[in-house]
């Protein structure tokens, strides 16, 4: 029988794609999600437990019933701006939620975890590309909640033998080219879905947040990484933990996940136009508070240690999958409903 893997947040964007890749790799994903932002339609690859991470009794029942060999922990609130105005919501759900999960894992003897972390743990870059050793000075409670979770995992490693991997995503983007899974946030704040939906005429014109940055074209630069590549990295991290390479000397490791290539907001809009054959209606606006001008990953450590390399290295190809999802995949149906 294949191993059960508990996937918190498995009904969300990155979690659901990872469940699909896990199933393809021969694992049995068990999704645990409170459905605050996750979607029942995205749970398609194994059993589902509807529960909040802070609900310890239900967590205990899930561990008793499924006896997972590892946990992939995606469940988190991710709206950076909201984390500034309502920090308690983020510390409770993301930080206290992780703590509750870690204690449940300890008490049920589940000793492996892969965590959805973020480049937000670094804060404003002092040097680019960002390496895993860059100082951590997160600029908002969302980033702090991720850094706190990483720290808890390291401490549980020292005290209780937890073996864990923190995957620091840069900008997750794109969709499963087979059409059944994709990005569907409510509210949507991310650049690529907003640009695609504006091009489709299903949203008002996009506002470009800042055109006076010290970047080649004045707009902000990000490292967009395909959601299926992120999913593959989780399987690679799981295998790394199973191999026993994580040990007492290094119980908790962190890896950047990006392509190492930046794309500016203007380049993203041009790519959406090229893929769709439609201009993206937009206006120029002021900078968004707290946005760094440029974030690009140095992702060689993930390649060296996990053997992970992104299959999608061209932002145009990433955007093509996002376009297909919103224009013709299930995303199109969701947009119209």
Contact set with ligand UFG (CB under 6 A): 78, 80, 118-120, 142, 171, 189-191, 194, 206-209, 220, 222, 265, 288, 291, 295
The number of residues in the chain equals 337
Instruction: Tell me the closest approach of the beta carbon of residue 20 to ligand UFG, in angstroms.
Output: 21
3-state secondary structure at position 316: helix
In the complex with ligand UFG, which residue's Cβ is closer, 39 or 106? 39
The verdict on whether 142 is a catalytic residue reads yes
Q: Minimum CB separation from ligand UFG for residue 331, in Å?
A: 16
Q: How far is the CB of 104 from ligand UFG (least distance, A)?
A: 25
> Smaller CB distance to ligand UFG: residue 68 or 293?
293
**Smallest separation, CB 46 to ligand UFG (Å):** 26
| Cα atoms found within 13 Å of the Cα of residue 208, Cβ hemisphere only | 22
Q: Which residues contact 219 (CB under 8 A, 6 or more apart)?
A: 208, 210, 211, 213, 264, 265, 266
Q: 291 vs 303, which CB is nearer to ligand UFG? A: 291
By beta-carbon proximity to ligand UFG, the closer residue of 48 and 142 is 142
Chain-centre distance of CA 235, in angstroms? 14
In the complex, which residue's CB is closest to ligand UFG? Answer: 220
Q: How many H helices and E strands in the chain?
A: 12, 13
Least distance between ligand UFG and beta carbon 268 (Å): 7
User: 120 vs 252, which CB is nearer to ligand UFG?
Assistant: 120
13, 27, 37, 142: which one is catalytic? 142
Question: 48-54: which pairs have CB atoms within 8 A and are 24 or more residues apart?
Answer: 48/10, 48/11, 52/97, 53/8, 53/93, 53/97, 53/98, 53/100, 53/101, 54/92, 54/93, 54/96, 54/97, 54/100
Cα–Cα–Cα angle for 282, 284, 288, rounded to 5 degrees: 110
Catalytic residues: 142
């Amino acid at each position: 029988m294949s191993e059960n893997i508990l996937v918190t947040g498995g009904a969300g964007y990155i979690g659901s794609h990872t469940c699909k890749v896990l199933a393809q790799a021969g694992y049995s994903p068990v999704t645990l999600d409170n459905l605050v932002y996750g979607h029942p339609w995205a749970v398609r690859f194994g059993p589902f437990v509807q529960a909040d991470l802070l609900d310890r009794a239900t967590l205990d029942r899930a561990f008793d019933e499924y006896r997972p060999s590892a946990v992939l922990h995606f469940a988190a609130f991710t709206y950076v701006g909201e984390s500034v105005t309502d920090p308690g919501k983020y510390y409770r759900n993301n930080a206290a939620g992780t703590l509750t999960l870690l204690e449940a894992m300890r008490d049920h003897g589940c000793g492996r975890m892969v965590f959805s972390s973020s480049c937000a743990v670094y804060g404003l870059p002092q040097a680019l590309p960002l390496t895993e050793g860059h100082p951590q000075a997160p600029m908002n409670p969302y980033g702090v909640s991720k850094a706190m979770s990483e720290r808890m995992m390291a401490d549980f490693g020292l005290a209780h033998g937890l073996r864990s991997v923190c995957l620091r995503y840069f900008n997750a983007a794109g969709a499963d080219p087979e059409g059944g899974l994709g990005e569907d946030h409510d509210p949507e704040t991310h650049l690529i879905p907003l640009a695609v939906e504006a091009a489709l005429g299903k949203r008002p014109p996009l506002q470009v947040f800042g055109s006076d940055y010290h970047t080649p074209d004045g707009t902000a630069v990000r490292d967009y990484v395909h959601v299926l590549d992120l999913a593959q990295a989780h399987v690679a991290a799981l295998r790394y933990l199973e191999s026993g390479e994580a040990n007492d000397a290094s119980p908790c490791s962190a890896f950047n996940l990006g392509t190492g290539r930046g794309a500016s907001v203007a380049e993203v809009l041009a790519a959406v136009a090229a893929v769709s054959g439609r201009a993206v209606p937009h206006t120029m606006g002021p900078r968004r508070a707290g946005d760094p001008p440029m974030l690009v990953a140095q992702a060689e450590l993930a390649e060296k240690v996990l053997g992970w390399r992104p299959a999608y290295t061209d932002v145009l190809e990433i955007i093509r999958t996002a376009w297909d999802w919103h224009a013709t995949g299930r995303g199109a149906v969701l947009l119209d409903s």
